[in-house]
C-alpha cells in the first residue's frame, strides 16, 4: 500500500482509538442509550434526504444491519463503559469481535476455523479472562460482559454486511442509522427517561457537544468512508491488520488524555489479546510458506 493510503489508514485508526476516550467524556453528562440515540440521529439527519437507500439491499437485511451494528453494538458498548469499563479496556476487549465473527461464520456459513485460528482465539480469550480477574477500579464484570455483548453484536453485523455485499458504505451507514432510531428511542425512554431533566440539557457542556459531534462525523462518516474506500482498492488482508493498532491508540489516548493507569496486568492482557489477533490473521499464511 502506498504511503498516502497507509497514512489514511493510520488516521482512521487514530480516530477510532481516541473514540473510546471521547465516549467516556460524553458519558459523564449523557446516559448511554440516549448518547447512542443522539449519535445516530446526527448521522441520519439531514443526510438520509441526500443518500438513496443502498441498491440491491432488502429492507430485511438493512434492518438486520441496523439492529446488530448500531442498536445492540453501541447500546452494549456505551452501557458497558457507563457502568464501569475504562476507555482503554473497552478498546481492547471489543477486538474480540474478530473471533466471534469467525465462530459465527463457522456456525452459519459452514466456514472452517483452522487450528491456528482456534489457537489465536484461545490466546485472546485468556486475555479477556485475565482482565476479568482484575475487577475493581476501571473494570467490573457487568461492564466487561456488556462490552463482550457489543463485540458479539458487531460480529453478527459483520455477517450481515457480508450478506449485503458491495454497496455504498456511506449510504448503508446513513440508512442503518435512520432505521436504528425508533429502537434506540424506545430503549432510551424505557430505561433512562428518569435520568432526563431540563437542567441536564440546559447545562450540557461544550465538551459533551463536541464529543457527540466527534462520534457522529469523524468516527462514523470519515472513518467508515475511508475504510470502505481502502477495502475497495486493496485486499482485506492488507487493510485489516491496521485495526490491531486501535487498542494501542486506545490505551495511549486513555493514559494521556484521561490519565488512565497502565499497570502491568493491563499491558499483559493487551499482549495476550493482540497476540491472539496476530495469530488469527497471519499464522495460516506462515504455516503455508513453511
Q: Give the model confidence (pLDDT) of 15-25 as tens digits.
A: 999 999 999 99
Buried-exposed string 41-78: b where 16+ CB fall within 10 A, e elsewhere? bbbbeebbeebeebeebeeebbbbbbbbbbbbbbbbbb
- Confidence at 132, pLDDT banded by 50, 70, 90: confident
- Count CB neighbours of 224 within 10 A: 17
SS3 139: strand
Element (H, E) at 79: helix 73-83
What's the structural domain count of the chain?
1
- Count CB neighbours of 3 within 10 A: 7
Per the prediction, the chain carries an average pLDDT of 86
Has residue 129 got a pLDDT over 60?
Answer: yes
Closest C-alpha to 139, from 149, 150, 151, 128: 128
Cis ω for the linkage preceding 46 (within 30 of 0): yes
Which residues, at least 6 apart from 106, have a Cβ–Cβ distance to it below 8 Å? 112, 113
Has residue 258 got a pLDDT over 80?
Answer: yes
What's the confidence (pLDDT) of residue 38? Answer: 94
- What angle in degrees, to the nearest 10, is found between the helix axes of 3-26 and 223-233? 150
The Cα 117–Cα 112 span in angstroms is 10
| Residue 85 in grid coordinates | 469499563
Q: Is 135 left (phi over 0), alpha (psi -120 to 50) or beta?
A: beta
> Domain span at residue 215?
3-289
- Confidence at 97, pLDDT banded by 50, 70, 90: confident
- Confidence at 290, pLDDT banded by 50, 70, 90: low
| Least confident interval from 36-45, 46-55, 109-118, 181-190 | 109-118
pLDDT (tens digit, 9 = 90+) per residue, 267-289?
Answer: 888 888 888 888 877 777 766 56
Overall pTM > 0.85: yes
What's the confidence (pLDDT) of residue 229? Answer: 79
The Cα 40–Cα 111 span in angstroms is 33
**Could you say which DSSP state residue 70 is in?**
I
The Cα 60–Cα 283 span in angstroms is 36
Calculate mean pLDDT across residues 128-153: 85
In order, the DSSP letters of 84-137 are T--HHHHHHHGGGHHHHHHHHHHHHH-----HHHHHHHHHHHHHHHHHHTT-BT
More reliable by pLDDT, 188 or 239: 188
The Cα 36–Cα 47 span in angstroms is 17
Amino acid at each position: 500500500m502506498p504511503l498516502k493510503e497507509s497514512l489514511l489508514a493510520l488516521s482512521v485508526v487514530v480516530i477510532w482509538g481516541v473514540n473510546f476516550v471521547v465516549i467516556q467524556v460524553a458519558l459523564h453528562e449523557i446516559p448511554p442509550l440516549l448518547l447512542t440515540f443522539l449519535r445516530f440521529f446526527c448521522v441520519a439527519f439531514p443526510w438520509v434526504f441526500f443518500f438513496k437507500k443502498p441498491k440491491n439491499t432488502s429492507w430485511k437485511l438493512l434492518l438486520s444491519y441496523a439492529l446488530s451494528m448500531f442498536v445492540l453494538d453501541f447500546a452494549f458498548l456505551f452501557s458497558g463503559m457507563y457502568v464501569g469499563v475504562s476507555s482503554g479496556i473497552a478498546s481492547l476487549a471489543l477486538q474480540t469481535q474478530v473471533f466471534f465473527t469467525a465462530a459465527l461464520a463457522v456456525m452459519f456459513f459452514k466456514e472452517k476455523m483452522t487450528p491456528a485460528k482456534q489457537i489465536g482465539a484461545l490466546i485472546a480469550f485468556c486475555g479477556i479472562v485475565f482482565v476479568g480477574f482484575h475487577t475493581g477500579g476501571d473494570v467490573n464484570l457487568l461492564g466487561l460482559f456488556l462490552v463482550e455483548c457489543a463485540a458479539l453484536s458487531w460480529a453478527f453485523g459483520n455477517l450481515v454486511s457480508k450478506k449485503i455485499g458491495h454497496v455504498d458504505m456511506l449510504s448503508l451507514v446513513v440508512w442503518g442509522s435512520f432505521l436504528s432510531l425508533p429502537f434506540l428511542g424506545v430503549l432510551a425512554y424505557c430505561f433512562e427517561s428518569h435520568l432526563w431533566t431540563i437542567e441536564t440539557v440546559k447545562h450540557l457542556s461544550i465538551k459533551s457537544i463536541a464529543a457527540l459531534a466527534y462520534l457522529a462525523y469523524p468516527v462514523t462518516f470519515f472513518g467508515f468512508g475511508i475504510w470502505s474506500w481502502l477495502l475497495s482498492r486493496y485486499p482485506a488482508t492488507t487493510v485489516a491488520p491496521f485495526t490491531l493498532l486501535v487498542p494501542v491508540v486506545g490505551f495511549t489516548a486513555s493514559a494521556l488524555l484521561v490519565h488512565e493507569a497502565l499497570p502491568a496486568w493491563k499491558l499483559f492482557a493487551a499482549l495476550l489479546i493482540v497476540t491472539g489477533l496476530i495469530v488469527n490473521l497471519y499464522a495460516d499464511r506462515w504455516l503455508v510458506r513453511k
